[in-house]
Structure 1
Amino acid sequence: MNGYLSTSRRRPQTHDIATKLVKRTDVVSVLFQIEVHIKKIGNSVNFADITQFSEYPNGKEVLFDLNTCFKIESIEQDGSIELIRMKLSNPGEMITKDYIELTLRKTEEKSVAIVFGRLMCNLGQYDKSQHYFEQLRKDPNGENLAWIEFNIGRVLCYKGEWKEARDHFDCAYDRMVANKPVRVKDSTRVLDKIGLILENQGKYDEALGYYKQALDIKEKCYLPGSVSIAASFNHIGNILSSQKKYNEALDFYKRALDIEGKCFSSGHVNIAANHNKIGIILRGQGRYDEALKYYQRALEMQEEHYPSGHADIAHSLSNIGHILFDQAKYDEALDYYQRALKMREKYYPSCDIAIVQSLNNIGGLLFEHEKYDEALDYYKRLLKIQEDYYSSDELDIAQSFNKLGKILYHQQRYDTALHYHQRALKIQVKHYSSDYVDIATSLNNIGLILEKQVKYDEALDYYQRSLKIQEESYPFGHVYVARNLTSIGDILYHQRNYDDALDYYQRSLKMQEEYYRSGHVEIAKSLYSIGTIFYDQENYDEALDYFQRALKMREKYCSSDHVNIGESLNIIGICYEKQNKTKIALDYYHRPMTIFMKFLPPDHPSRIRIEERIHRLTKKK
């Protein structure tokens, strides 16, 4: 490959170039200082002082062959720039040679020219790698055209240009199957790449077909314990996981891990990654303790074998935080989330997506823990990064607006919350079709605020618009649809339209019972709401039936001293009092009183009212 690294022996000139102002804030100015001991390097390094041949002799230009290797001696701050001191390295030539030989063995590639182009791609120099292979295609000089097409597709894949990449992979595949004899074994690498493109496009069934076709060939061409077969198991596992076929995905991941455990050292990146994948599946199945073990094992490997600050370590810390969050171990989860954030802030640029994810994790945890002021701070930090570095109408910004709106809603700052939700909706309407589910979520959020502001007609309009989208998106029902039905029922109840409210509550209940087969607190809420309507209609027997069912479910899914249990006991007591069953009513009043005294202040209305009821009924006795 023809190419040279241009340097200068004039430090002031290069320093001025390095410190030249740029608009980007996520880059650091760097000056490379190269030290050369001419007598020690022999003839292994090609470089030359071209001052006398240059159009700009004052630049004192020195050219180095692009294949030249340097050893970094130090990195230090020098004013506003980072100064990297380097020496020419004779051993570097051997390192390069060893890398090429290793890649040749790993990929079963026989061409150094192909490996060199792959190296540029692996180093993230995608445009250079693409240009290199395109030039090689024009003048192949005996190089295999199928592999050239394949590697152009590979570069385009890394650049996210899926359609163009697919064209090159198809061309590579056609050349391989047209070969005499057919290059069946080589074709598996192309099939895997086509599967990856389809996977990234969300075409999971098609992707699965290509991955399985590649696996069938590999099982005939490779030994049973081949890492190439393990790679296929992982590919298929990824698809099944995306399709929420968790048991099947878990089986493929474990088969891959079994092979990798025999082929690689214990700290190999593939093994750690597979532990994390299995952990994700187990978490999705609610098997939190098992998932935690896999996540912790992955973290142990990474901390032992990876440099501190490695992206995968921060990722594993976050995964463990997710499990602890799911187990409601909020303090422990927060510790892991903050460790991940601290690591990412130390090693990544401030705009890195991983930092945004960490801020989002911590904000979400604090929100669930009802620490709204702290959650608001983290979400505002997240939003500032997004607004500084993203387009103003990015969908991620819309999500942040909705999260801020939810916090402000819980802080009863309804006007400000409404402002954020409306900004989110404006962005979503611009990007999505009118029937997209995220739009339904924003409409629902706005409805909640309008309901709190007692603007029932407006709230009802937003809820119904949201419901229409959800029913089209989930024709067979979904918990989101059920929640919206409940919200509409609440509005109709407030408007004293009891018959219509009852209809919406019952539709919601039916959907919830189909979705949550073993019960759920949301079912308890619907039962309670239906009971409230019968109570207001003075149908106390029906009301008691629903209130008792709600209590039974709350006792199953809430802690024994949860305020909602106290609420259920209280309303049951009121029903019995309405039926003049004083003794039973008094018993039900005493039970929630214990809960209210523990959690509610003395001047709380619920506590005051139940004290009055107990006093009144006690006097009757």
Structure 2
Amino acid sequence: MSTAYVGMSKYSEALECARKAEEQLQKRSDPDPTSLGRYKRQIGLVLQKQGNNVEAIRYYEEGLALAYTDTDNEEESLSIAYFNQGDAYMKTNKFTEALSSYQKTLEIELRALPDDDPTIATTYVKMSEANLKLSKYSHALKYAHAAVTQLRLQSNPDPTKLSQYLCQVGHVLYKQGKPSEAILYYNECIVSISTTVGHEDESLGGIYYRLAECYSELNHDVEALSFYQKTLDIEHKSCDDDDPTIAVTYHKISTVYKNMWKRNEALKYAYDAVNQLRKRPNPEAIQFGQYLYHVGTILQILGRHSEAIRYYQEGLTEILKVKNEDDKSLAPIYFNVARTYLHLQNFTEALSCQQKTLSIELRTLPDNAATIAMTYLSIATTLTGLQQYDKAAEFSQKEIDQLLKTLPSDHKDVLEQKLHAFSQQLKIPIDELHRRLFKFKANYMKVQQILAIKLGGHRRDNIKLTVSDYELKSEKINSMISALEVFHDTVMKPLSKTILIDKLKTDYCMEYCNVVNLECKHDKQSAFEEKNYIFRS
């Protein structure tokens, strides 16, 4: 009776009958172990149908153990029980145990079933899925191929099954980092199934989605968009209006457009993803928070910082319903929010977010992580905005010390940050310092050309500028600080060898002092007159 009720999907009645059968048998002084094992396996099956996989596993284990205490030769029954036990293990994330159960199923099937039986293919694909969950990709691929080969032993293999198994091969290849090969199997999968259901059947939605993922991985954005759109079209026809799966596809399309720098299109689909989730009274918090945050990142790129902050705040509120404030995954979110606050010159809020980022990074990242250096720099920039120059200089130095854990002292990144730290010490914004340096270089090179003409070619080496163009380019600052510090020794002293150049010395000393905000003892008016004299001559 229990088996009949299972066929009618009346699981409560089925469970009641199975339990009564077990109880009745247990009343005997010497119950038949074969029958007792069969009844326990039946209880396990009904519990599994009800979704109670943990209890189902217990009854399967007890029932299968009893099968070996007697001459139970019902191999088909045992094969099914092991298979169902494997499924229950998969549902409870016990993948190693699931693999063991499927292996026992396969051993019985290979011994008892015809060579071309499609049931064997089903077990192969289950073993592939279990191995994939265990990240055993080579084994997963082996069994996926075996499933396809086994099914093709039939003259007319089921196209739906064949499509499923081809899709599994593609999925494993994608996980192995081989999207180009995966695409071949996904396309073959589509050919197999579309011959019977057409190109717009809902069963194709998942395959189109996986194809889109492969093309996206290969940075083939146009193809990725095409298949995401096909996925979306099928989802609109086959899914409920508030299905969150539709939001996932919207989000994927937005991400591709963002990568293509089509920001308005990216924003449209990002809004669509958020609005799709809002249709549900209680959307999943992490997903909802991430999609809100994604909208914020696009608004930030578009320069709409006030709107971006609103979405960032709402997204964080959702995420913090599930995660702690100091969760590792929140560090990059806090960092981006801080950048937006900086654009709005809300330095206090920016600093708060940066401090949260730093706290997480110091706790969770390796001691020499370059990301920590970026956070130190961000904090230094914010403190400059707050006119807390001493603290800004302190964090600039921390950034340099962090970089030096992995980079040599003459690396351009280290030198760039030394210049930034130098600007903090001088209380001059970095952009202003660059402006002054370029102004100084432009003026100096102009005078250098005139002096070269006046002194003759044989004297050019005496007045050669020792700070090269490369060393003074803002994007590749190299030894800028040391160049400033030794400027008088490397440039001014050689220039003073001639009377003509000596007339310019006071003027360029003033230029240097202006760069570094020092008081210059020279008379500015006389220097100005001397400069005019030289240029008139």
User: Does TM, scored on the shorter chain, surpass 0.5?
Assistant: yes
Report deviation, 1:257: 3.0
Tell me the alpha carbon deviations over residues 582-611 of structure 1, each in whole angstroms, 9 at most, x when there is no partner.
xxxxxxxxxxxxxxxxxxxxxxxxxx9999
CA contact (8 A) 2:5 2:11 kept: no
TM-score w.r.t. the length of structure 1 is 0.57
Equivalent residues of 1:489, 1:504 under 8 A apart: no
Matched residue count: 413
For the Cα contact (< 8 Å) 2:6–2:14, is it kept in 1? yes
- Residue deviations 1:498-518 (CA, integer Å, cap 9, x gap): 5323323235436755xxx9x
Give the Cα–Cα distance (whole angstroms) in 1 for the partners of residues 251 and 140 of structure 2: 30
Cα drift, residue 345 of structure 1: 1.8
- Give, in whole Å, the separation in 2 of the partners of 1:257 and 1:398: 39
SS in 2 for 1:304: coil
Q: Which has the higher helix share?
A: 2
Match of 1:226 in 2: 75
Structure 1 residue 205 corresponds to structure 2 residue 54: yes
> Unaligned regions of 5+ residues in structure 2, if any?
382-391, 423-468, 484-489, 491-537
Partner of residue 542, structure 1? 398
Question: Matched residues in 2 for 1:244 and 1:511: separation?
Answer: 30
- Partner in structure 2 of residue 166 of structure 1: 11
Q: 1:327 to 1:389 in 2, by over 3 A?
A: closer
Aligned 8 A contact 1:219 1:229 in 2: no
Q: Check the 8 A contact 1:272/1:299 in 2, yes or no.
A: yes
The whole-number CA distance in structure 2 between the counterparts of 1:477 and 1:277 is 39
Report what 1:464 is aligned to.
Answer: 313
- The one-letter amino acid paired with 1:215 is L
Match of 1:559 in 2: none
1:424 aligns with 2:277: no
- Are 1:279 and 1:292, in contact at CA under 8 Å, matched by a contact in 2? yes
Secondary structure at 1:315's aligned position in 2?
helix
- Secondary structure of 2:153's match? helix
Structure-2 change in CA distance of 1:211 and 1:426 (3 Å): farther
Are the counterparts in 1 of residues 286 and 319 from structure 2 also a CA contact under 8 Å?
yes
Match of 1:327 among 134, 152, 176: 176
Q: 1:176 aligns with which of 18, 21, 32?
A: 21
Choose which of 398, 410, 413 in structure 2 pairs with 1:571: 413
Q: Which whole-Å deviations, capped at 9, do the CAs of 1:13-66 have from their partners, x for residues lacking one?
A: xxxxxxxxxxxxxxxxxxxxxxxxxxxxxxxxxxxxxxxxxxxxxxxxxxxxxx
What letter matches 1:575 in structure 2?
Answer: Q
Distance in 1 (CA, whole Å) between partners of 2:316 and 2:81 is 42
Higher strand share: 1
Cα contact 1:194–1:210 (8 A) shared by 2: no
209, 230, 255: which one aligns with 1:406 = 255
Q: Aligned partners of 1:463 and 1:492: how far apart in 2?
A: 11
| 3-state SS, counterpart of residue 316 of structure 2 | helix
Query: Structure 2 vs 1, CA of residues 479 and 352 (structure 1 numbering), >3 Å: closer, same or farther?
Result: farther
**Aligned to 1:509, which of 361, 367, 385?**
361
1:299 paired with 2:148, answer yes
Partner of 1:63: none
In structure 2, what residue type is equivalent to 1:433? N
- The alpha-carbon deviation at position 152 of structure 1 amounts to 3.6
- Does 1:448 pair with 2:297? yes
Report the CA distance between 1:247 and its aligned residue.
3.1
Shift in CA distance, 285/306, structure 1 to aligned 2, threshold 3 Å: farther
TM-score by length of structure 2 reads: 0.65
Alignment partner of 1:191 is 2:43: yes
Contact 2:36 2:63 in 1 (8 A): no
Which amino acid is 2:46 matched to?
I
8 A Cα contact 2:273 2:291, kept in partner:
yes
Give deviations 1:80-121, integer Å, cap 9, x for gaps.
xxxxxxxxxxxxxxxxxxxxxxxxxxxxxxxxxxxxxxxxxx
1:495 & 1:240 partners in 2: Cα distance?
A: 53
Q: Any residues of structure 2 matched to 1:85-124 within 5 Å, and which?
A: none
Residue 8 of structure 2: which of 148, 155, 176 is its match?
Answer: 155
CA apart distance, 1:375: 1.0
Give the deviation of 1:618 after TM superposition.
9.1
Distance 2:12 2:141 in 1: 42
Residues in 1 aligned to 2:65 and 2:325: alpha-carbon distance in whole angstroms? 37
1:489 and 1:505 in contact (8 A); partners too: no
Return the letter of the residue paired with 1:544.
I
Taking a change above 3 Å as real, the CA distance of residues 479 and 390 of structure 1, as seen in their structure-2 partners, is: same
Provide the C-alpha distance between the structure 1 equivalents of 2:181 and 2:327, rounded to a whole number of angstroms.
Answer: 32
Rounded to whole Å, the distance in 1 between the matches of 2:40 and 2:470 is 74
Could you tell me whether the CA contact under 8 Å between 2:212 and 2:224 is conserved in 1? yes
Identity of aligned residues (%): 16
> How far, CA to CA, are the matches of 2:132 and 2:407 in structure 1?
29
Larger RCO (CA under 8 A, 6+ residues apart): 2
Q: Distance in 1 between matches of 2:414 and 2:19?
A: 74
Amino acid at match of 2:357: Y
